[in-house]
Structure 1
Amino acid sequence: MHIALLPLDERPVNTRLPADVAAIAGARLSLPDAALLPSMRTPGKAGPLGDWLLDQDVDAAVVCVETLVHGGLIPSRTSADDTLTVLDRLGVLRELRRARPGLPVAAVSLVTRASDSYHGDEEPPYWPRFGRELHAYGGLLHRAHLADVTGGEPPADELTGRIPAEVRADFELRRLRNHVVNLEALRLLAEGVVDPLLITADDTAVHSAGSAEQGWLRHWARALDPAGTLLMYPGADEVGAVLVARALAARHGRPIRISVVSGDPAGLDVVAAFENLPAGAGARRQILAVG
């Protein structure tokens, strides 16, 4: 079997690990040339990466949307590309479907993180000063939305005045652009362009901007009721390997049984730090994601 992978970025967990998974099954994995991929904060070459994907003669494709439309994971948080530009790049998947109607195309798109830290290596330049405040602000907005829905008392806003208006605007506009990309990815699932679609969340929390956006995406998933598979759960770097394994399992054609065992069964009900689902629910969705 021959699989094309457009990886989340250039790190070994997103390139070497999926190739090792394919090799275990005797399959071949094709990756873009390293010169096209991102290098930390330097974006990959989004246009040529789309061309590379269209040129692949393979049995299945696994596509990380952040790389296709932004040039990588970190550029999805730091680039200034506008919404129309990134949506145009996403259109490559429709071109691929028209050219190869029967090709299995699995896609993963991420909900943009707002890490609860002041570490700015992978974030916009204002993160070392306002990162934790922006994370908390997302949680505040999420709680306010829930209060609107239930008629409850909105939370006190002690954050707006602590974050400069231009910083809030810049970050929220980036989030809005990336949320539109996730909505369009959901449309691609509903149109049969991709299947499955995984929308995963990196560095999130129960109350956070990412959790609120996942709720809105679930609303549209229920409304569209796509025939394909949609899964949302905490995850990021492992998803390329998961979807490569899914393509292999589909080719294998027989069910693969997995048992989840916890040293403390109550641990499966715990929500880990930086996640927004109990560990057991996250494990179940990982298993479903891999087929």
Structure 2
Amino acid sequence: MRIIFLPIDERFCTREYFLIFAKASGLNILTPPKELLGSKKIPADTNALKDWLLGNSQEGDNLILSLDTLIHGGLIPSRINLLQKPTINERLKILNTLKRKRTVIYLSSTITRIPTYNSSDEEPDYWEYYGEALSNLSKDFAKYLESQDKPQNLSYKNALPKFMEEHKNKYQEIPEWMIKDFFWRRERNYNIIQETVKLVDNRTVDFLNITLDDNSPGSLSVYESKQHQKLVNQLGLNEKISIHPGADETSLTLLSRLLCSMFKCSPSFELFYTHPESILLIPPYEGYPLKSSVETHIEAAGGRIEQKGDILLLLNNSSDYSSYDITFQDTLAVSEEAYETILERIKKEDKIIGIADIKYGNGSDKRLVEKLLENHLDWLKINYSGWNTVSNTLGTVILHSIIQYFAQKNYLKLDAKELLKIQTIFFLEHWGYQAVVRQQLREDSAQKGCNIWTLMPAEKWAEEYTRAKLLPFKEVIEKNMKKRWKMEVFFPWHRSFEVGINLSP
């Protein structure tokens, strides 16, 4: 079996995570060279990618593809370009061509995010000045649409004039052309996904993973997702389409599902929440309650939930989200007893355990990781992740757990070195970098002309700085793993938010 992989963009977390997991699983993977992918706002050459896909795919291949890359050349270009319908329809035709080759197509697509803050770093230029206002407008518009009970084939250009007439005083400071552009982009994204759902219905696409990129309760993204779900329900496609929060982890979810399909096995997950009383709260960057997100991620990955499951999914969740950002954790009281309870639960289990550290956003619960690494745990049967959003972490831990489970059943022959390498990277990145070093880097790099959005004035210095700061964390991890690595650090998008960590023997 061969898998052809087209990522959502070129970042370490969206490309290398997948490739290392695949190598650890002994899978035969073919992916375009990194040079064919884009660079943040610079789109990939979609014609070159089309030629690569058609030239390399063959009958029987399993394709894990990002629709955002196929059409737009990447995640960020999907938010900011001006592609028109004829171009989009032409680019969609490649899916029919690939299907005629008798391939299996697993596809991901994102519902475009609506950031609640002013910044054009990943958005159209006007988001720098009117982002927050447009986000507020979109939430009011979502409430308006809900009250109108529009069908799934909604048209913003028809509904918007009446809404704006009723709210003209509230949003009169936003230039009209920006409002028109914003809603044009949203309707375009909406229509693309509607057409893609129909490709599942006509059996061109075998499975579709629709993720809501950074979203929030009551947002237009959530409203649109509900309309897509209506079409999915109408066509009876709930077994072939999943709609849930997330984005960067989407290819990992598709790999999980492909493995489950390949082995005709649906692993069961037993859930253990550190704060079960809080599972109906909605985490930041998500528009659905935690309980719902966990369930849909497991189902999308090909798994199921049981009281006594094959795999223990241990969720280190928040009791509330008032202090969710990673920068708050040093100000909060720590309960050693709570961490001891987690360790006791881990030690008493004789099954695969996935630890989803979702207590804070954008990084690890430092004390949890310290406790884990103080103990000598079997990282071929236990795994940990705690990065960015709840959904990013869930998709990662679920795949990691399913790989370990299939290896335990002898369905996969693990490359233990690669699996320990990806776990080492997760500790270095999620704990060492995201939870600690990133804040230090941002403070010290400001003196060299850098800011939160760019390290370009001193990027080489930033790489060496970060590498040096990570060495103490690396030493602790290596002592626990009983394995040493050479480490290189780089910044995929030349800013401090995300980091790439290459490990070699």
Q: TM-score range by the shorter chain?
A: over 0.9
In structure 2, the residue matched to 1:99 is 101
The code of the aligned residue for 1:176 comes to E
In structure 2, the residue matched to 1:175 is 186
Question: What is the distance in 2 between the residues matched to 1:4 and 1:159?
Answer: 49
The code of the aligned residue for 2:229 comes to R
The code of the aligned residue for 1:27 comes to L
TM-score normalised by the chain length of structure 2: 0.54
Question: What is the distance in 1 between the residues matched to 2:170 and 2:98?
Answer: 45
The alignment partner of 1:232 has SS state of: strand
Pairing 1:275–2:277 present: no
Q: 8 Å contact 2:6–2:65 — kept in the other structure?
A: yes
Change (3 A) 1:159 1:9: farther
Question: What is the distance in 2 between the residues matched to 1:212 and 1:83?
Answer: 23
Q: How many angstroms does 1:273 deviate by?
A: 1.3
Q: How many angstroms does 1:9 deviate by?
A: 0.4
Q: How many angstroms does 1:15 deviate by?
A: 0.7
The alignment partner of 1:198 has SS state of: strand
Q: Where do residues 113-128 of structure 1 align in structure 2 (5 Å cutoff)? A: 113-128=113-128
Give deviations 1:6-64, integer Å, cap 9, x for gaps.
11000011110111221222102221122221101100011221222223236311111
Pairing 1:85–2:92 present: no
The code of the aligned residue for 1:94 comes to N
The code of the aligned residue for 1:9 comes to D
Question: What is the distance in 1 between the residues matched to 2:238 and 2:114?
Answer: 31
In structure 2, the residue matched to 1:112 is 112
The code of the aligned residue for 1:286 comes to H
Q: 8 Å contact 1:117–1:131 — kept in the other structure?
A: yes
Question: What is the distance in 2 between the residues matched to 1:280 and 1:168?
Answer: 35
The code of the aligned residue for 1:130 comes to Y
In structure 2, the residue matched to 1:257 is 268
Larger Rg belongs to = 2
Q: How many angstroms does 1:72 deviate by?
A: 0.4
In structure 1, the residue matched to 2:143 is 143
Q: How many angstroms does 1:227 deviate by?
A: 7.4
Q: 8 Å contact 2:5–2:30 — kept in the other structure?
A: yes
Question: What is the distance in 2 between the residues matched to 1:31 and 1:159?
Answer: 49
Q: 8 Å contact 1:25–1:248 — kept in the other structure?
A: no
Q: How many angstroms does 1:207 deviate by?
A: 1.0
Count of residues in Structure 1 that have an aligned counterpart in Structure 2: 286
The code of the aligned residue for 1:285 comes to T
Q: How many angstroms does 1:163 deviate by?
A: 1.2
Change (3 A) 1:227 1:269: closer
Q: How many angstroms does 1:166 deviate by?
A: 0.5
Change (3 A) 1:8 1:246: same
Question: What is the distance in 2 between the residues matched to 1:99 and 1:228?
Answer: 24
In structure 1, the residue matched to 2:195 is 184
Question: What is the distance in 2 between the residues matched to 1:4 and 1:52?
Answer: 11
Question: What is the distance in 1 between the residues matched to 2:255 and 2:220?
Answer: 29
Question: What is the distance in 2 between the residues matched to 1:83 and 1:222?
Answer: 26
Whose relative contact order is higher, 1 or 2, with alpha carbons under 8 Å and at least 6 apart? 1
Q: How many angstroms does 1:228 deviate by?
A: 4.9
Q: How many angstroms does 1:86 deviate by?
A: 1.3
Pairing 1:40–2:37 present: no
Give deviations 1:115-142, integer Å, cap 9, x for gaps.
1111211100101101111111111111
Bigger shift: residues 115-124 or 243-252? 243-252
1:218 paired residue among 225, 229, 248? 229
Question: What is the distance in 1 between the residues matched to 2:264 and 2:149?
Answer: 44
Pairing 1:204–2:206 present: no
Q: How many angstroms does 1:225 deviate by?
A: 2.1
The code of the aligned residue for 2:101 comes to A
TM-score normalised by the chain length of structure 1: 0.93
The alignment partner of 2:271 has SS state of: coil
Q: 8 Å contact 2:232–2:238 — kept in the other structure?
A: no
The alignment partner of 1:269 has SS state of: coil
Question: What is the distance in 1 between the residues matched to 2:140 and 2:234?
Answer: 27
Q: 8 Å contact 1:189–1:228 — kept in the other structure?
A: no
Q: 8 Å contact 1:19–1:28 — kept in the other structure?
A: no
Q: 8 Å contact 2:119–2:129 — kept in the other structure?
A: no
Pairing 1:72–2:74 present: yes
Give deviations 1:76-103, integer Å, cap 9, x for gaps.
0111111221121011101111121xx2
The alignment partner of 1:160 has SS state of: coil
